[in-house]
Every structure is written in C-alpha cells, then in structure tokens.
Structure 1
Amino acid sequence: MTTVGWIGLGAMGGPMAQCVAAAGHAVTAYDVSLERARSLAGPGLTAVDSIQAAAANAEILVLMVATPDQVAAVLFGDGGAASQLKAGAVVVIMATVGPGPVEGWAQRLGELGVGLVDAPVSGGVARAATGDLLVMVSGSDEDLARCRPIIDAMASTAPTVGPKPGDGQKVKVVNQLLCGVHIAAAGEALALADSMGLDVASTWAVLKTGAAGSFMFSDRGGRMVAGAFDDVRSALDIFVKDMGIVTATAKSVEQPTPLAATAEQLYLTGRRKGLGRKDDSVVYDVLRGRA
C-alpha cells in the first residue's frame, strides 16, 4: 500500500482517484470544492480541506488540475504542497500543461529532493471510471518504479515515452493536436451535411463505419447529432487551453501547424460566444452559426 496525496477531483480526477483507492492505496484528496471531495470519499479515499493536508505524509502526490498556473500554485504558492513533501517523495503531474513548465518544476522539486513523473492522460471520463486510460509516462527509472502501481491502477496502457519529465507532455501535445483537429473536422463535416439538406444523423451513422470514421467522429459526432452540448464530457474551454499549448509548443520548435492553428481559432470563437463551459462538440453549432 502506498500513501497517496491527491489534488484535483474534477470529471476526470475524481474517478481516477477512486480507482487508485480501489486498488488498495490510501488516498488523501483535496479539491477546491470540498463538497465534491466529500461526495467521493469512501473506503481508501479521505477528503481533506487543504492542499497541505493532502500533501502531508504523501509518498506520491498526484496533481490532476487544469492549467499550468494551477499546478504552479498548488506546488509553490502560499500553502503549497512542496513545503510539505519529504525528500524521496514523488509528484505525478497528470494534467496537460506543456513540456516547458514541467521541466522547470522538475528542477525546483529536485532541489528539495523530490522527484517528478510526467504522466498526462487521454481517454475521457468513462474510461477514467474503469481504469482504462492511456497514460504517457516519462521520468527517471527510480521515480517511475515507485509510481508504477499507482499509474497502473488508472490505466490499461501506460508506456514509458521518455527518460525526462516533459517527454510525456510532448507526446500529449501530439495527441491533443490530433484530437483537436479531429473534433473540428467532425463539426465541419456534419455542418456541411446539414447545409446540403442531408439527414445529419443518418449521414453520421453511415460515415462513422467507413474510412472517414475516427473515435472523435463517432464520439463527438454522436453528441453533435443529439445536440447534447450540456452533457459536458469535455468542456470547450479545455481545448482552448490545449490547442494553445499545441500551437505555442510548435512555435517553440519552429514547426508549422496550420490545421491546429485553424482549429484553435474555432475553439476561441466558441469561447467568445460564451460556450466555454459547454461540451466541446458544440463547435458544430458554432460552424452552423447557431451559437
């Protein structure tokens, strides 16, 4: 059994923490919504009311928050976790935050004798609940060995993609480029079908089984057809953030990403229209001019 501190119990983080607890580890968890944290408490998972309380005595501290600024505040802000972690502890960053920040945090934590494992996730809420995520893992062999039982409790696939913190984020950047462009393409295709007077649901049902099909076309396309934009599985704001990371990272290595840049503008348009907290499939309505 490993003593695990956990920060962030949102749509993904909550079920992930429950999977770790169900695997027999002692999880002490904090969320900005104490009510949310208490609702998830159960055997092996204890809710606490501060970051410091979650980090105290943690052998492994998992962060599943949304943005780089949130990670920095959790670790190094007033009342941050870094001040509570003992030498030999390992921080596992599972959010999509970009390679640059992770590399910087690894250096700062290393000066305290604390390791960092970079482990961004992909798979969505349903797979998070069943421990069936893809986790892109990077870090030192020693740190990875300590964290492996925790990661394996959440993932069906968790390959080591590099030896350094930041390598996992680089792979996740590529993943998010594909996801963001695929969602935008699905919305554009179905909007075209609608504009041509086709039955959109029938068109989607036919095309998702052929060469044009993809996970995103099947998954997000289904929500587009149903208009299920209030059933938020992944908020549009997440792709505003993630596509910003994609394009910024690409610029840092002078790699043109014209499709990603165009998709980013579509997500930004949706946010500007007040749709940031809707499901990201709402890009369909943005493209149809209905938002």
Structure 2
Amino acid sequence: MPETIGFLGLGLMGHGMARNIVEKGYALTVSAHRNRAPVDDLVSRGAVEVKSVREMAERSSIVFLCVTGSREVEALIRGKDGLKAHLKPGSVIVDCSTADPTSTVALAEELAAVGIALADAPLGGTPVQAAEGKLSAMVGATPETFARIKPVLDTWAGAKIVHLGGPGDGHKMKLLNNFVSLGYAAIYAEAMTLATKTGLSPEIFDSVLRGSRMDCGFYQTFMGYTIEGNREAHKFTLANAFKDLTYLESMADAAKLVNPIGNAVKNSFGMAVATGGDGAADYVPHLPEYVGRANGVDMTPRKLRT
C-alpha cells in the first residue's frame, strides 16, 4: 500500500518540506499549532487537516516531526494522545528536529518495543531551500527503515541524503555540523567587533575575507545582515542556536569529552539570549550586535542606521 504521511511542525522549515511532500504525490495529513497560514496553504494543495495528534497517528503510516527539540518530540510521542499510543505497529516516525541524541536513542528503543520504528533525519539548509526541495538530510535509521523512508525524503532533500548509521547518529552529526557553523558565527561576530573597535569597519573586514580561502556559503549568509542589512539573510534564531549548543554539551558530557571551544561558543549565544530584549527572536547573523553591546561598540549594520 502507498505510504500515508503525517507532518507535525509547520514552521520555517517544515512548511516547505510538507509542501514538497504533498505536491510530489503523497497523501499528507497536517495539523495547526499557532499559525494557520501554513496549514491553509497545504490544504489548498491537497493536504487534509486534522485536529489532534491522535487523529493524525490513526491516518498515517509515516509521521514527520519538525519541532524545536527533544522536549517537544518526547511530548508528541509519549503524550496520552500521542504517537506511541495511536500509531499502528509497522509505522515510522521521522524526527527532523535538532535533538539530543541521548533522548533519540531512548525513544527508538521504547518505540521498537511496540513495533514502531524511529529515524532521525535532521536538516541542512535554509527555509528557502526547504521550499525549493533542496535541503540535505543526515539520517540515523536501520537499513530497512532508511530504504522505506528515502523516497519521501527525496521529495524535499534534493541536495544530499546521507545514511550515517542507526537511530541517534543523525542527531549526533547535526550537532557537530551546527557546532562548526555556529563556531564560525561566534568567531565572525567577535572578530568584526574587535575590528570595529580598533578602527577597521565590517566592510573592510569583509573586503579581505570575501573570496579568500576563509570564505564559504555560511560566511556569505551570515554577512548578509552586517554588510547588506538583510535581516532575514539566515533565519535561524539565537535561541535555537543556544539550545543546540546545550545539546552538544550534553553529548560531550555523555562521551566524557572535554570541550572548551564548544562551551565558549555556547556562552557567546547564551550571552545574546540572556541580555538582549529580542534574544529569542533575533537570528544568528545578528550576534555581532550583542557582542558589540557587551563591548561598547555599535555593530548595527551601516545600511540600517538612521
């Protein structure tokens, strides 16, 4: 029988992913959380709206989750009217969130005991790439589960799909990936603040790094705010970045690894979230403004100054 897909978490990334799933021929069930606009759009494209997780579970053979983190994933799976209680044996849950691998492994074992498979397939890319079906996916799953879900992943992960190993391995790799990218962000923010405080503008800083060996795709989207004034150049919140780095710390602790650089990067984002009025809503490329405020330097992009 053809797979029937449920999708929970229609935010910046999830909406584009779900749109590709339904537009490429899969029966899709969705549910609203706070924002009705993505649900209305998907229903107009052929999706069916349900009012509860239980109803979605009863209609779906594969359910995708694209929510904030492990706490939300655990609630959707373990809740009284959640997925574990109402999915049929033989169903699959695909967690596309960035989550704590320790939680993922525990959930996979718990679900396997009732005949439900769990795969973790965290994302690489931006909301624009989600809408275009050009994300990448880092997948942790048994070989059998991976083979089953891959045709659905293909609808939205047109850039790259890598099967890394068993459940939990996708989330481990995602945290490592985010550590590297957010580490870049913390370095760029501090380096530009130091440059500004010593008389070198961000534009001068960029004129040297852009096109050099230090340039990369992440650098260009990060600098889209400071240089171009584009507030939405990279729509990943400071709060989510900080959350991911706390998961990295947990992963390192579980492995008994000393990670001073990881903690330094975490503290840079923690400072922004703790001290800024919009710290939970601002995006990663806005970090230089927070580092600047802590050092008496105005890092507001020149194009946005009045």
TM-score (norm 1): 0.94
Cα shift at 1:278: 0.6
Out of 189, 194, 197, the residue aligned to residue 195 of structure 1 is 197
What CA distance in whole angstroms lies between the structure 1 residues aligned with 2:237 and 2:36?
A: 21
1:82-132 deviation digits (Å, cap 9, x = unpaired): 222001111101111121111111111111111111111111111111111
Which residue in 1 is equivalent to 2:160? 157
Contact residue 181 and residue 218 of structure 2 kept, 8 A: yes
Aligned to 1:56, what secondary structure does the other structure show? helix
Aligned residues: 290
> Which amino acid is the alignment partner of residue 181 of structure 1?
G
What CA distance in whole angstroms lies between the structure 1 residues aligned with 2:81 and 2:35?
A: 17
Structure 1 segment 1-291 matched on structure 2, within 5 A: 1-33=2-34, 35-41=36-42, 42-155=44-157, 156-162=159-165, 164-229=166-231, 233-273=235-275, 274=277, 275-289=279-293, 290=298
> Which amino acid is the alignment partner of residue 76 of structure 1?
R
What CA distance in whole angstroms lies between the structure 2 residues aligned with 1:159 and 1:261?
A: 28
Worse overlay, 260-269 or 38-47: 38-47
Cα shift at 1:145: 1.3
What CA distance in whole angstroms lies between the structure 2 residues aligned with 1:262 and 1:214?
A: 22
Cα shift at 1:58: 0.6
What CA distance in whole angstroms lies between the structure 2 residues aligned with 1:23 and 1:268?
A: 40
What CA distance in whole angstroms lies between the structure 1 residues aligned with 2:35 and 2:250?
A: 34
1:25-78 deviation digits (Å, cap 9, x = unpaired): 111012312513433323232232221222222110101011111001111113
Task: Label 1:74 to 1:229 Cα distance change in 2 as closer, same or farther (>3 A).
Answer: same
Runs of 5+ consecutive residues of structure 1 not aligned to the other structure: none
Contact residue 120 and residue 139 of structure 2 kept, 8 A: yes
Cα shift at 1:282: 1.6
Aligned to 1:95, what secondary structure does the other structure show? coil
Task: Label 1:258 to 1:78 Cα distance change in 2 as closer, same or farther (>3 A).
Answer: same
What CA distance in whole angstroms lies between the structure 2 residues aligned with 1:287 and 1:31?
A: 37
1:191-232 deviation digits (Å, cap 9, x = unpaired): 222222223234314412101212222111221234444777
What CA distance in whole angstroms lies between the structure 2 residues aligned with 1:47 and 1:189?
A: 48
Worse overlay, 32-41 or 178-187: 32-41
Task: Label 1:230 to 1:212 Cα distance change in 2 as closer, same or farther (>3 A).
Answer: closer
Task: Label 1:189 to 1:216 Cα distance change in 2 as closer, same or farther (>3 A).
Answer: farther
What CA distance in whole angstroms lies between the structure 1 residues aligned with 2:219 and 2:195?
A: 14
TM-score (norm 2): 0.89
